[in-house]
Structure 1
């Protein structure tokens, strides 16, 4: 039986009187690529931030379990040490540091110098644009290059679970295809991924299973390929009647 890496039960998030997440259940099993799709404001990013403890002042109820341990209330730095990494919406690269320095920051929990060097070369091979600009300040990169860097930096921590929040946002169609090519490649290496994405078609094509979120609730879940052919999903998220 496949191990459950992430289990969420009855998760609720409230900002003052606003209930952003209204009691959801979600699980991610080892080696899966799971996508969470939905319109803007559905609660997708709030869900990821609840998992990683990066929400502003709010009330979080429910159970969040990672690798068999309850993690609600743990700091994000503690989660990185436990091999849970997140690429946030907006990338969040260290703009005044070089590409190489950003990647080294991704490996701050590690002390295997040769392994870190090997991994840097590994991800440079996946993202050749980054290798060409290794000494360049991250703030001077294009949006697509910053997204590549944010992903490579997270992967330098050797995550058991990688959370991706809107990786295609604001990118050109060519760069979106490249980012999804990398996501599929990372998943093929056995890294478990939970992907929040507005490009529902590409997300469903890449994923094993999917959850649909509307107004803070999970309204649909199942096999991603079957969802691609579901009339309700096609009409609401793929722009097809």
Structure 2
């Protein structure tokens, strides 16, 4: 875990007179699972969208390097081809396509048909509910099942870095547990992950390192296990007394 695959330096995002992200620095090293936690509205999703160039009209300043090269101005398609994939908040599955068709869309930048079929089988093994419903329209599935599909679809592109935006949002406690099991499993397979999450406890329990974002700024960072024991984190984000 020595080589930074993602380096963010002095990243700022402004909408008119509103400064949503205020000159933040963060990095993710190869093989790491890094989490960015914070309250709703702290600027976490804006940060991910600034990294991937998917924000609406706004002013962005600072530097974002991926795999040793700047990526500002690159299209989402180009980023996927370079191995950077994102699972957006709200999942964004293709509702009128089947589960299998969604997975094939995740592999649109590939042309190795045998490898694509092998990967579909692989992710069906990790997400057995998807295998059971392979020909079901994605829009008819539960929120948790759609989250599994969105993750599997992104993984079909063979990402070197996977960005996950609030994967537990709106899910039942049992489904949240299952989603985090899968996040750990994907990380264990060597996929580098940057996880944005409001469920601070689950995120820090899964991660190697963490950053805390507060009002558009990074207020704390460190080893995830140490942050779990930090009184400031416990009081502000884990609902415990200092």
> What TM-score comes out, normalization by structure 2 length?
0.99
- Say whether 1:132 aligns with 2:132: yes
> Residue in 1 aligned with 2:114?
114
1:164-203 correspondence to structure 2 within 5 Å: 164-203=164-203
Q: Give the SS at the match of 1:235.
A: helix
Aligned partners of 1:67, 1:158: CA distance in 2, in Å?
15
- Say whether 1:27 aligns with 2:3: no
Deviation at 1:73, TM superposition (A): 1.3
> Residue in 1 aligned with 2:227?
227
Q: Give the SS at the match of 1:134.
A: coil
**Unaligned stretches of 5+ in structure 2?**
none
- Say whether 1:82 aligns with 2:73: no
Q: Give the SS at the match of 2:212.
A: strand
Deviation at 1:143, TM superposition (A): 0.2
Q: Give the SS at the match of 1:144.
A: helix
Deviation at 1:223, TM superposition (A): 0.4
- Say whether 1:40 aligns with 2:40: yes
Q: Deviations over 1:67-119 (max 9, x none)?
A: 01100111111100111000000000000000000000000010111100000
Deviation at 1:3, TM superposition (A): 1.3
Deviation at 1:2, TM superposition (A): 1.7
Deviation at 1:137, TM superposition (A): 0.4
> Residue in 1 aligned with 2:14?
14
Q: Deviations over 1:212-236 (max 9, x none)?
A: 0000000000000000000000000
Q: Give the SS at the match of 1:73.
A: coil
Aligned partners of 1:75, 1:236: CA distance in 2, in Å?
37
> Residue in 1 aligned with 2:91?
91
> Residue in 2 aligned with 1:160?
160
Aligned partners of 1:72, 1:60: CA distance in 2, in Å?
10
> What TM-score comes out, normalization by structure 1 length?
0.99
Aligned partners of 2:134, 2:69: CA distance in 1, in Å?
37
Aligned partners of 2:111, 2:9: CA distance in 1, in Å?
35
RMSD, aligned CA: 0.6
Aligned partners of 1:155, 1:2: CA distance in 2, in Å?
23
Deviation at 1:158, TM superposition (A): 0.2
Q: Give the SS at the match of 2:20.
A: strand
Deviation at 1:194, TM superposition (A): 0.1
The aligned length equals: 241
Q: Give the SS at the match of 2:159.
A: coil
Structure 1 residue ranges, 4+ long, deviating more than 6 angstroms after superposition: none
Aligned partners of 1:42, 1:12: CA distance in 2, in Å?
13
**Unaligned stretches of 5+ in structure 1?**
none
1:48-87 correspondence to structure 2 within 5 Å: 48-87=48-87
